[in-house]
A and B are shown apart, each in its own frame.
Chain A
Amino acid sequence: AQTVTQSQPEMSVQEAETVTLSCTYDTSESDYYLFWYKQPPSRQMILVIRQEAYKQQNATENRFSVNFQKAAKSFSLKISDSQLGDAAMYFCAYRSAWGAQKLVFGQGTRLTINP
């Protein structure tokens, strides 16, 4: 079974600075997807960024980028120019490319932005 581990329960960063959230996963599959979801206090789960395992190029969405290391099974999220609205719980998630397409989540990292 696949597992996802986020080893940082809490992180904090100064506004406008850069922060990196860590995620590692364990799988024997070669095809899969990785996601970062954001959960603000409103509780809504919001997709931040997605990475396909077959793509070597790291995904980027505006201020958000990932460092995907397939051999190391590592998938970190970098947030540049942090803004107050980035404060939230961040979840790393894994999904198989085929079969039952459930998301397997990490434990989450609570990100605080200091003004």
Chain B
Amino acid sequence: DTAVSQTPKYLVTQMGNDKSIKCEQNLGHDTMYWYKQDSKKFLKIMFSYNNKELIINETVPNRFSPKSPDKAHLNLHINSLELGDSAVYFCASSPGGGQDTEAFFGQGTRLTVV
């Protein structure tokens, strides 16, 4: 019954590897997001999709590629992982369209690059 679920919750990998984080929401929302929380706890938007269309792409290295196969799923693929990519990555969703409601967050994926 989890509204926004991410897998995996923890990911430890070596530099240079490629990894993916998956996100699914069962709320029927149109908009999904990826946020990054760095080691100082600062949260920043990375990407946003609305009905499978990319609408926000902040200044993120092109090693990061989001993919939305349908509006309930938004995956994040990261190529050639670097030490600085270590962070917690949050998926979130919201109804979109200017509707008055908050974003719902997944439980986060802690990525550690060694």
Contact = CB atoms under 8 A, between A and B. Distances in A.
**Do A and B make up one complex?**
yes
Contacts of A44: 105, 107-108
B43 A101 contact: no
Give the interface size class of chain B: 20 to 34
Chain B contact residues: over half helix, strand or loop, or mixed? strand
Interface in B18-37: 31, 33, 35
Contact of B45 (A39, A52, A98, A102): A102
Contacts of B92: 45, 103
Contacts of B98: 97-98, 101
A35 B56 contact: no
A105 B56 contact: no
Nearest to B44: A105
Contacts of A97: 98
A105 B42 contact: yes
Interface of B: 31, 33, 35, 40-45, 48, 55-56, 88, 90, 92, 94, 96, 98, 100, 102-103, 105, 107-108, 110
List 3 tightest A-B contacts by C-beta distance, closest first. A45-B105, A102-B45, A105-B43
